[in-house]
Amino acid sequence: MRQKLIALSFIFYNMALCPAAAQVVETDLDDLDDEDGIEVIDDDDEEDDNLADVQEGFDFPEALTDANLDSLMSQYMSKTYLSTAGDCEMLSQNPDFPSEVYIERLSRMPTVMEMAYNDVVRSCIDRYMVRLRRQVSYMLGAANFYMPIFEQALDTYQLPLELKYLPIIESALNPTAVSHAGATGLWQFMLATGRAYGLEVTSLSDDRRDPVKSSMAAARYLRDLYQLFGDWNLVIAAYNCGPENINRAIRRSGGKRDYWEIYPYLPKETRGYVPAFIAANYAMTYYCEHGICPMTSKLPVKTDTVMVSRNITFQQVAQACDLDVDMVRSLNPVYRRDVVPGLSAPSVLRLPVNDVARFIDMEDSIYAMAGQQTLKRQEVEVEERPTPQPRPKQRATKQRATKRQGRSGGSASYATARRGDSLGAIARRNHTTVAKLKKLNGLRGDKITVGQKLRVK
Q: Which of 46, 170, 289, 383 is catalytic?
A: 170
Our answer to whether residue 35 is catalytic in this structure is no
Three-state SS across the chain?
CCCCCCCECCCCCCCCCCCCCCCECCCCHHHCCCHHHCCCCCCCCCCCHHHHHHHCCCCCCCCCCCHHHHHHHCCHHHHHHEECCCCCCCCCCCCCCCHHHHHHHHHCCCCCCCCCECHHHHHHHHHHHHHCHHHHHHHHHHHHHHHHHHHHHHHHCCCCHHHHHHHHHHHCCCCCCECCCCCECCCCECHHHHHHCCCCECCCEEHHHCHHHHHHHHHHHHHHHHHHHCCHHHHHHHHHHCHHHHHHHHHHCCCCCCHHHHHHHCCHHHHCHHHHHHHHHHHHHHCHHHCCCCCEECCCCCEEEEEECCEEEHHHHHHHHCCCHHHHHHHCCCECCCEEECCCCCEEEEEEHHHHHHHHHCHHHHHHHHHHCCCCCCCCCCCCCCCCCCCCCHHHHHHHHHHHHHHCCCCCCEEECCCCCCHHHHHHHCCCCHHHHHHHHCCCCCCCCCCCEEECC
Supply the residues annotated as catalytic: 170
